[in-house]
A = this chain, B = another copy of it.
């Protein structure tokens, strides 16, 4: 359940504004571990209920109908808190006979939605609260328009990558006229090719099928889908990327956290130090921090304060303070990765947050280099600061600045010419800078570190100027 970015334009042009969430089940396997209703199970700082709501909100949903059953009051009050916190309308409906099956919960919830929705031809999402989805799963359902009266289910053909193959609901499919039709669905069917991810894009045709199945004494969602399949109204969307997970067991819960954190790997603009050293550590810290109500901007400010303190430490005379400051600088650089990670993990991304982070990074960079230069200048001179050290410090600061100043344009050009991988490989950024500062401090060679940073960063600026000139000349 991540990333607004992963969703196609088709969605943003005409996104379904409604969703139905099934949160009525007992979830006995997970509950045994903690004693709370399953939707209240926390995953990296957000409950399953909260993740489900925020996932739909990231898809543009404004109104969510929730079927509650087991320990209804508790679950309902939790959803009410979520609704208030995140500005989404949540309408809880109690399902008296929820134990009959998930079809019964779906039937009651969709009937409630139908009463509230004047548009009989509307589309809406349907999912279980205990499923996590990457944005690409939703995308798979929006590739083609959904015909009136039909339902489209996201299905996964990547059977080798299933987390719990035994527990999966299987789907038999047939492609006709470019459209993927569901022929059969269930836990024990034969001749199947893919599995049910648990995310549906629906019309009210599903309600009719659910009513019909219920009248026949069948109370599973799969039963209604089989009825629709007979009328060629059960369609599928094949997911190509991303992941989904049915969080049924403590093991699946661990896997969910692992996958959410793994998404933080390999961000396009991470440099080499960031990828190999900072990110693995910052993910560990983020995993820990996610459990607390700490905002990304608080992490940004903390990391900034740490960098300023590190700069001040480095400026003090004596190798011990210099080395300690250098280490702290690297720590602040690692923590600096957590703000973005937490923001993505907890659906707290904001343009302001990203911008503030970038601005404070410029201040932190300059302060660290100035601290290092001050140490070098004071160490080599008895009375007053040494000019050579200050000059190298100045060159390191201006070179670093202009690298950041030109980074967006450079990344854009590189991506356009060589693809995202090239940007990553060639990027000389903050991660490298701070790492060199730490090395210079630890080895007690501040002047050498400044000179290296100054030369590397300014040479990189010169390289970019020549590169842009060439790009401009070639059209």
Contacts and interface: CB of A to CB of B under 8 A. Distances in A.
Contacts of A352: 468-469, 471-472
Contact of A390 (B356, B390, B409, B468): B390
Interface stretch (A67-75, A147-155, A195-203, A399-407): A399-407
Interface string A357-370: 01100110011001
A362 B401 contact: yes
Contacts of A374: 387, 390
Contacts of A362: 398, 401-402, 405
A75 to B, nearest CB: 31
A461 interface: yes
Nearest to A394: B370
A350 interface: yes
A393 to B, nearest CB: 9
A465 interface: yes
Interface in A371-389: 374, 377-378, 381-387
Question: How many of these chains are in the complex?
Answer: 2
A160 to B, nearest CB: 43
Nearest to A386: B384
A363 B468 contact: no
A472 B394 contact: no
Given A384-B385, A390-B390, A363 B402 contact: yes
Residue among A358, A384, A402 having the largest count of chain B Cβ atoms under 10 Å: A384
Contacts of A472: 350-352
A396 B401 CA distance: 14
Contacts of A359: 402, 405-406, 461, 465
A404 B359 CA distance: 11
A358 B468 CA distance: 13
Contacts of A358: 405
A356 B370 CA distance: 26
B383 A385 contact: no
Contacts of A382: 383-384
A468 B355 contact: yes
A381 B386 CA distance: 11
A351 B413 CA distance: 13
Nearest to A408: B408
A173 interface: no
Contacts of A383: 381-384
A409 B468 contact: no
Given A394-B370, A397-B397, A468-B355, A405 B405 contact: yes
Contacts of A385: 377, 384-387, 390
Given A362-B401, A384-B387, A394-B397, 5 more contacts: A352-B468, A362-B405, A374-B387, A397-B397, A401-B405
Smallest CB-CB A-B distances: 8 pairs: A384-B384, A352-B472, A385-B385, A381-B384, A366-B398, A383-B383, A401-B401, A370-B394
17 contacts: A350-B472, A356-B468, A358-B405, A359-B402, A359-B461, A362-B401, A362-B402, A363-B398, A366-B397, A366-B398, A374-B390, A378-B387, A381-B383, A383-B384, A384-B385, A401-B401, A401-B405
